[in-house]
Amino acid sequence: MTLPTATFGPTGLETTVIGLGGMPLSIQGRPDRAEALRVIHAALDAGMRLIDTADVYCLDDDDIGHNEALIAEALRTWSGDADEALVCTKGGLSRPGGAWETDGDPEHLRAACERSLRALGVSAIAVYQLHAPDDDVPFADSVAALARLRDEGKIQHVGLSNVSRAELDEARAIVPIVSVQNRCNPFDLRAFEGGVVARCEELGLAFLPYSPVGGGHGKTRVGDDQILIHVGQAHGASTYEVALAWLRRKSASMFPIPGASRAESAESSARAATLELAAEDVARIDAHVGFPA
């Protein structure tokens, strides 16, 4: 698989610097299928080549794989070269009655991975991420399950999500890890404060900040922020684009994955890949959000 632009992890996989988060296309409030396909095609047409998904991006346990199947259909029907796209999915949660619960049981992970292979219509998943550690299952057991799936060729690369720096190191002792996906945006700096971003950078891993513009609820804060508005005005950019460009400036390991349920949002996020903030802009946002020195 040969992809343009920046390096994704230490493995030689390459992708664009900003990807599409698939979640808003498949959860409560999702657009209809034709519109959802249009959003993914718009993201691809705008140059995005990384798509983040999960088996649980759906309404409930009866709808598992909705987002993966949608992405597979979008890639099949896209006018461009679908082989350029890197699809990263996840296992390790369930959606009973629409709730979000962890399930890191090795047997669940195996069944989930096999179901994701079918939903995505591939013989191997490019990057399979453990969605979150499960308090009821030893973390090492969940990671070892992914290591076995990798040994069997069902997974090309293993990623983690919602992990601490210590958990990243624990997992690396079991299987090579290419990426970490944690919540991170200008108003949620825990991934920086806890050292996860720095550790990814040291190790040459990709860090995928999720909810990079604040998530479904927090996006209003980014949208209305006066400093982000002001910085954006000088560049003809929206506050969301400024937030994404600011994240990219924080580490060479950063690959934001903004979600979108509208094509306009995906096109805007793709534009942020080429938005270069001035050093004064970055310093101003740092001071405003209390970025750790």
Active site residues: 57
Count of residues touching ligand NAP (by CB under 6 A) = 29
CB closer to ligand NAP out of 16 and 161: 161
Binding of residue 261 to ligand NAP (CB under 6 A) = yes
SS3 string, 173-240, reads: CCCCEEEEECECECCECHHHHCCHHHHHHHHCCEECCECCCCHHHHHHHHHHCHHHHHHHHHHCCCHH
CA dihedral 273, 25, 240, 178 (to 10 degrees): -50
Q: How far apart are CA 72 and CA 49, in angstroms?
A: 14
CA distances from 178 to 10, 27, 156, 274 (A): 7, 27, 10, 24
Choose the binding region for ligand NAP from 5-13, 21-29, 134-142, 197-205 (rule: CB under 6 A): 21-29
Q: How far apart are CA 164 and CA 15, in angstroms?
A: 25
Q: Are 30 and 36 in contact (CB under 8 A)?
A: yes
Strands 6-8 and 13-15: antiparallel
For ligand NAP, which residue of 41, 150, 154, 219 counts as binding (CB under 6 A)? 219
Choose the binding region for ligand NAP from 147-155, 186-194, 263-271, 282-290 (rule: CB under 6 A): 263-271
Q: Residue 56: what residue type?
A: V
Q: How far apart are CA 61 and CA 38, in angstroms?
A: 25
For ligand NAP, which residue of 9, 65, 92, 214 counts as binding (CB under 6 A)? 214
Binding of residue 134 to ligand NAP (CB under 6 A) = no
CB closer to ligand NAP out of 133 and 212: 212
Binding of residue 262 to ligand NAP (CB under 6 A) = yes
Of residues 67-126, which lie at the interface with ligand NAP (CB under 6 A)? none
CB closer to ligand NAP out of 117 and 159: 159
Binding of residue 281 to ligand NAP (CB under 6 A) = no
CB of 93 to ligand NAP, least distance (A): 8
For ligand NAP, which residue of 128, 240, 246, 255 counts as binding (CB under 6 A)? 240
Longest dimension (CA), the chain: 53
Report helix, strand or coil for 256.
coil
For ligand NAP, which residue of 128, 139, 210, 255 counts as binding (CB under 6 A)? 210
Binding of residue 179 to ligand NAP (CB under 6 A) = no
CB closer to ligand NAP out of 2 and 217: 217
Report helix, strand or coil for 262.
coil
Binding of residue 24 to ligand NAP (CB under 6 A) = yes
Binding of residue 216 to ligand NAP (CB under 6 A) = yes
Helix (H) or strand (E) holding 102: strand 101-102
- Nearest 5°: CA angle at 194, between 272 and 290? 60
For ligand NAP, which residue of 22, 65, 133, 232 counts as binding (CB under 6 A)? 22
Closest CA to 274 of 8, 50, 16, 4: 16
Binding of residue 258 to ligand NAP (CB under 6 A) = yes
For ligand NAP, which residue of 260, 273, 275, 277 counts as binding (CB under 6 A)? 260
Which chain residues interact with ligand NAP by CB under 6 A?
21-24, 52, 131, 161-162, 181, 210-216, 219, 238, 240-241, 257-262, 265, 268-269
